[in-house]
C-alpha cells in the first residue's frame, strides 16, 4: 500500500503529478502540512501560474519563500516570468557576442524563443533544479506541486536539446560556426556524466575569454541538470506520486505519464485517487456515479496493477486553510490501501 507516513519519513523529495483539477495542489499542501507537523522542515513549491498554493492556504505566497506554519515554507514559481528572466539573462550574455548590427536580429530571435514551449520548459526546469538543490540543502523535505513529466523531463535526459536551443540563439552570430563546434563538446556521444567543470578539457586553447565563459555557463547548467537527473532517479530519497480522480481521462493520462517516467527509468511511488464518492443508496444518481467510479477503479487497477494507492473521498466542502489540510493529511494516513484491495 501507499503508506503516507513511510513516504514522508523516507523520501526527501516528493513530486506530485496529475491532470489539472484532480487535486495536486490540495494533496501536496496536505502532505506538506502533515510532514511539517511531524517536525520536518518542509519546503512546498508550486509552478502553477494560477498561484494555487495561495488559494489552498488562503493567503498570498508568491515568488519568495514564505513561512506558512512552524516548520512549513512555500514558494510559487511563475513559469512565464521565469522564461522572461531566463531569456533576459541569455540576451545579456549574447549581446556581448553580437555586433551592433546584429542586436536587432538577436532580439527578434529571442522574442520568437519566448513563445516557444521549449524555452519555457528549459527556463522552468533550470529554476526548479536550483530550487530543489537549494531546498534539499536547507530543508528536510521538498514537496513539488506539479511534477515535471514527459517532454520536460526529456530536457534532463537529453541535455543536447538544451545545447541545441542555445546554439539556435547564436545562429545569427558571426562566431556561430566556431561556437557551434564548441557546443558540440557539450554533448559527447558517450555520456554527459563524462563532463567535468573544466571547459579546456573539451576544447583546446583556441577559446578566447568570452567563449570560455559561455562554455562555462553551459557546462554549469548541464552539471546542475545532471545532478537533478540523478536525484530524480534516486528511488531511496525521491518519490513521484500521481494524483487522479476515478474517471477515464485522468486514468489514461496517468497511465501515459507513468509510462513516460518508467521509460526514463524513473519509478512512481504510488497514486492518490481523489474525489471518491462515499457509498450510498442504490437508487439515486450518486449511487450510479459511485458505480461508475468503481468500474474506473477496476480499470485503473487493471492498467497499473503494481502501483500502491491512497483513496480520498469527495468532501462536502472545498479544502482550504491549514486546518482542513491537516485533516486531509490525517485522512491520507488512514486511507492507504494495498494493491490487492
Ligand atoms: N477530495 C476533495 N473534495 C472536495 N474538494 C476537493 C477535493 N480535492 C480537491 N478539492 C477542491 O478542488 C479544487 C481543485 O483542486 P486543486 O488541488 O487545486 O487541483 P489541481 O492542483 O490538481 O489543479 C480546489 O478547490 C480543492 O479545494
Ligand atoms: Mg494546482
**Over the stretch 125-177, which tens digit does the pLDDT of each residue have?**
889 999 999 999 999 999 999 887 766 777 676 555 555 555 555 554 545 55
Of 189 and 171, the structure prediction assigns the larger pLDDT to 171
The preferred substitution site among 315, 318, 323 for testing ligand 1, maximizing ligand atoms within 8 Å of CB, is 318
CATH number of this structure's domain 4-78+138-150+234-337: 3.40.50.300
Which of 3-17, 195-209, 320-334 is predicted least confidently? 195-209
Q: Judge whether 319 and 30 are in contact, CB under 8 Å.
A: yes
Give the position, in ligand 1's atom list, of the atom nearest the Cα of 29. 17
Asked whether the predicted pLDDT for residue 80 surpasses 50, the reply is yes
Q: Which tens digits make up the pLDDT trace of 298-316?
A: 999 999 999 999 999 888 8
> 49 CB less than 6 Å from ligand 1?
no
What percent of the chain clears pLDDT 90, i.e. is strictly above it? Answer: 44
Task: Flag the least confident range among 19-23, 152-156, 207-211, 286-290.
Answer: 207-211
Per-residue model confidence (pLDDT) at position 279: 74
> What pLDDT does residue 15 have?
96
Cα–ligand 2 centroid distance for 280 (angstroms)? 29
pLDDT value, residue 198 = 47
269 touches 297 (CB < 8 A): no
**What is the average pLDDT across 215-243?**
87
pLDDT of residue 163: 55
Please work out whether the CB of residue 22 comes within 6 Å of at least one atom of ligand 1.
Answer: yes
Query: Considering only CA atoms, which of 266, 41, 38, 26 is closest in space to residue 137?
Result: 41
Share of the chain above pLDDT 70, in %: 74
Residues whose beta carbons lie less than 5 angstroms from ion ligand 2: 24-25, 48, 52
CA–CA separation, 300 vs 318, rounded Å? 25
HEC profile for 76-135? ECCHHHHHHHHHHHHHHHHHCCCCHHHHHHHHHHHHHHHHCHHHHHHHHHHHHHHHHHHH
Distances (CA, A) of 49 to 240, 241, 307: 21, 21, 30
Contact 338, 1 (CB under 8 A): yes
Q: Is the CB of 314 under 6 A from ligand 1?
A: yes
Pocket test for ligand 1, best of 319, 322, 327, 329 (most atoms within 8 A of CB): 319
Please name the residue whose Cα sits nearest to atom 6 of ligand 1.
318
b/e for 43-79, b at 16 or more Cβ within 10 A? bbbbbbeebbbbbbbeeebeeebbebbebbbbbbbbb
| pLDDT given for residue 211 in this prediction | 67
Helical spans, DSSP H, in 97-247: 103-115, 117-138, 150-157, 159-169, 176-184, 199-202, 209-233
331 vs 194: which has the higher pLDDT: 331
For residue 218, pLDDT beyond 80: no
Which residue's CA is the closest to the ligand 1 atom numbered 16? Answer: 23
Ligand nearest to the CA of 27: 1
Q: In what order do the strands lie in the sheet with 66-69?
A: 66-69, 72-76, 42-46, 141-145, 13-17, 238-244, 268-276, 309-313, 336-337
Instruction: Report the distance separating Cα 298 and Cα 163, nearest Å.
Output: 44
CA of 48 to the centre of ligand 2 (A): 6
DSSP 74: E
CA of 149 to the centre of ligand 1 (A): 20
Residue 340 has pLDDT above 70, yes or no: no
pLDDT band at 120 (very low <50, low <70, confident <90, very high): confident
Nearest atom within ligand 1 for CA of residue 276 = 1
**Is residue 274 within 6 Å of ligand 1 at its C-beta?**
yes
Ligand 2 geometric centre to CA of 198 (Å): 41
User: How far, in Å, is the centroid of ligand 1 from the Cα of 11?
Assistant: 24
Segments making up each domain of the chain, as ranges: 4-78+138-150+234-337, 80-126+159-231
User: What is the Å distance from ligand 2's center to 275 Cα?
Assistant: 15
pTM: 0.79
Per-residue model confidence (pLDDT) at position 217: 75
Amino acid at each position: 500500500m501507499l503508506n503516507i507516513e513511510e513516504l514522508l519519513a523516507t523520501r526527501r523529495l516528493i513530486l506530485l503529478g496529475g491532470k489539472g483539477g484532480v487535486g495536486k495542489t490540495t494533496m501536496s499542501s496536505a502532505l506538506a502540512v502533515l510532514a511539517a507537523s511531524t517536525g520536518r522542515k518542509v519546503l512546498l513549491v508550486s509552478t502553477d501560474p494560477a498561484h494555487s498554493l495561495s488559494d489552498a492556504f488562503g493567503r498570498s505566497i508568491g515568488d519568495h519563500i514564505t513561512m506558512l506554519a512552524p516548520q512549513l515554507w512555500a514558494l510559487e514559481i511563475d513559469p512565464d516570468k521565469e522564461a522572461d528572466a531566463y531569456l533576459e539573462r541569455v540576451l545579456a550574455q549574447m549581446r556581448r557576442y553580437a555586433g551592433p548590427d546584429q542586436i536587432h536580429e538577436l532580439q527578434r530571435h529571442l522574442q520568437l524563443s519566448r513563445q516557444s514551449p521549449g524555452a519555457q520548459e528549459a527556463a522552468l526546469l533550470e529554476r526548479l533544479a536550483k530550487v530543489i538543490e537549494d531546498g534539499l540543502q536547507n530543508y528536510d523535505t521538498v514537496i513539488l506541486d506539479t511534477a515535471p513529466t514527459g517532454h520536460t523531463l526529456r530536457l534532463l535526459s537529453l541535455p543536447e536539446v538544451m545545447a541545441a536551443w542555445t546554439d539556435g540563439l547564436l545562429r545569427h552570430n558571426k562566431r556561430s560556426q566556431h561556437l557551434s563546434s564548441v557546443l558540440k563538446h557539450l554533448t559527447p556521444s558517450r555520456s554527459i556524466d563524462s563532463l567535468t567543470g573544466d571547459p579546456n578539457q573539451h576544447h583546446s586553447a583556441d577559446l578566447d575569454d568570452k567563449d570560455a565563459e559561455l562554455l562555462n555557463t553551459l557546462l554549469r547548467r548541464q552539471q546542475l541538470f545532471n545532478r537533478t537527473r540523478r536525484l530524480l532517479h534516486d528511488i531511496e530519497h525521491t518519490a513521484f506520486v500521481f494524483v487522479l480522480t476515478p474517471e477515464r481521462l485522468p486514468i489514461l493520462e496517468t497511465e501515459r505519464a507513468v509510462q513516460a517516467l518508467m521509460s526514463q527509468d524513473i519509478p512512481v511511488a504510488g497514486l492518490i485517487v481523489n474525489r471518491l464518492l462515499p457509498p450510498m443508496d442504490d437508487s439515486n444518481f450518486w449511487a450510479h456515479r459511485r458505480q461508475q467510479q468503481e468500474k474506473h477503479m477496476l480499470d485503473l487497477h487493471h492498467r497499473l496493477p503494481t502501483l500502491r494507492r491512497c483513496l480520498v473521498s469527495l468532501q462536502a466542502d472545498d479544502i482550504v486553510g491549514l486546518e482542513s489540510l491537516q485533516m486531509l493529511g490525517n485522512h491520507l494516513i488512514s486511507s492507504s490501501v494495498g494493491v490487492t484491495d
